[in-house]
């Protein structure tokens, strides 16, 4: 019999212990930046949980590897689903999963701008792309090793994740620039 162990709860307990220790040592120094950092770590735990799920012990022996290496195949798949059976559950479920992949790395784009102070669009695009690639590679590797239930490597997930994260980064940077232009730093008067 196989047991599935959810790493999210383990990670959340470690994060909570870290926050308690950090608050006892640093009190309220740089509190806003630290709270944003804690939320980033929590977000990454959620992403890991969504993409990996639980770790299976003992490992699975007959795990099916799923690969989809054709870029933008999901568009053809959506049209095929619609043509075959209209707007049924399979169509909407496929569209929902694509939408969830789109929004999954949006917070990462915002964190890159606000927490990590990334300013260059190309750099942010590469960071988001490599994190998405890392997620897909981790899913495939863990499935291959029998550590998780059948997940795979999907190029469309990389494209959609990256697009969502990059759009969020660009929007965050644009809003930040608009706020700075509207409320420039006041000049200090020296006596």
Identify the pLDDT of residue 189.
47
Write down the mean pLDDT value for the chain. 92
Quick count: other Cβ atoms within 10 Å of Cβ 81? 19
Strand partners, 56: 4
pLDDT band at 186; cut points 50, 70, 90? low
Q: Where are the domains of the chain?
A: 3-182
pLDDT at 191 over 50: no
Contact 92, 150 (CB under 8 A): no
Helix (H) or strand (E) holding 43: helix 31-52
Distance of CA 59 to the CA centre of its chain: 26
Identify the pLDDT of residue 65.
85
**In angstroms, how far apart are the furthest CA atoms of the chain?**
77
């Amino acid at each position: 019999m196989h047991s599935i162990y959810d790493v999210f709860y383990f990670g959340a307990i470690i994060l909570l212990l870290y926050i308690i220790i950090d608050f006892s040592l640093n009190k309220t120094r740089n509190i806003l930046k630290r709270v944003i950092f804690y939320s980033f770590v929590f977000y990454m735990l959620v992403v890991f949980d969504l993409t990996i799920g639980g770790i299976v012990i003992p490992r699975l022996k007959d795990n099916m590897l799923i690969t989809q290496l054709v870029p933008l195949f999901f568009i053809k798949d959506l049209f095929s689903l619609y043509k075959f059976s209209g707007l049924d559950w399979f169509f909407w479920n496929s569209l929902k999963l694509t939408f969830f992949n789109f929004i999954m790395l949006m917070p990462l784009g915002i964190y890159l701008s606000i927490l990590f102070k990334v300013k260059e669009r190309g750099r942010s695009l590469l960071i988001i792309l490599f994190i998405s690639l890392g997620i897909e590679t981790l899913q495939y590797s863990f499935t291959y090793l029998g550590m998780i239930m059948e997940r795979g490597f999907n190029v469309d997930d990389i494209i959609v994740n990256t697009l969502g994260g990059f759009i969020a980064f660009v929007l965050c940077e644009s809003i930040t620039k608009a706020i700075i232009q509207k409320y420039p730093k006041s000049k200090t008067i020296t006596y």
